[in-house]
Amino acid sequence: MLRYLGVSVETVNGAVSVQGGARPQAKPILVPGDFSSAAFFLVAGALVPDAQITTKNVGINPTRTGLLDVLRKMGAQISVHNVREIAHEPWGDLSVKTSELQGVEIGGALIPRMIDELPIVAICATQAHGVTVVQDAQELRVKETDRIRAVAENLKKMGAQIEERPDGWVIPGPQQLHGAVLDSFGDHRIAMAFAIAGLIAQGETAIEGAEWVDISYPGFFDDLERITQL
């Protein structure tokens, strides 16, 4: 971004150096849509019957898009189009439609590329055929809440089978989820993940502390309501 503003920046072997004395030039800056926010709608598009969703102008830097690899591995009908580069960052439009999914194993080098998307992946796993294993994700224990525990507790309230492990979960599928009163645990991503779970559950789902979504996506519930009414 500094290079875009007229400042000399050099990257060598992971080290970044900036040339002093430069005078940044004001320019309009375009910011891509957050992939982590788009992730909830990508999973909704794959899970909700007769759905088709396109999210436009999303940042698709490969260091952040592990979820795309996992969804494709699970069999999701998902495509990336209109790819371009703006301000040295890759952008694209992402389209997904209702898909029949298969369980997968997720771990290793994939985890850092999708650590924030793992709660919504757990929801996805409940609808996949076979067993999904998430491992090497112990970092989830020290996010805004212990996300491994939060996901397990809420899914059990919805009647799902899930094995909580120190570094992830084992989730068989497909399973019918049932509406329940759930806890956001003060965590925006837990609230959003279980809002998507509510779309595929039988009965009504209520999320206590849903206002925590405002931390990262203030318009999430408005957008969710709008697309579900199309």
**Binning pLDDT at 50, 70 and 90, where does residue 76 land?**
very high
Mean pLDDT, the chain, integer: 93
Q: What is the pLDDT of residue 91?
A: 97
Two tokens, residue 226: 């709008």
- pLDDT, average across residues 101-130: 98
Q: What is the pLDDT of residue 6?
A: 58
Give the model confidence (pLDDT) of 146-188 as tens digits: 999 999 999 999 999 999 999 999 999 999 999 999 999 999 9
* pLDDT over 90 at 12, yes or no: no
State in Å, rounded, how far the first CA of the chain is from the last one: 37
Domains recognised in the chain with CATH numbers: 1-28 (no CATH), 35-217 (3.65.10.10)
- pLDDT, average across residues 129-154: 97
CA atoms of 81 and 140, how far apart (whole Å): 31
* pLDDT over 70 at 7, yes or no: no
Cβ within 8 Å of residue 75, ≥6 positions away: 99, 100, 101, 102
Judge whether 34 counts as a catalytic residue.
no
**Binning pLDDT at 50, 70 and 90, where does residue 214 land?**
very high
Q: What is the pLDDT of residue 20?
A: 75
Q: What is the pLDDT of residue 10?
A: 72
Two tokens, residue 45: 């598009």
Which residue is catalytic, options 116, 167, 183, 222?
A: 116
- Reported residue count of the chain is 230
Is 21 or 92 the better-scoring residue by pLDDT? Answer: 92
**Binning pLDDT at 50, 70 and 90, where does residue 210 land?**
very high
Two tokens, residue 179: 């509406």
**Binning pLDDT at 50, 70 and 90, where does residue 9 land?**
low
- pLDDT, average across residues 8-30: 75
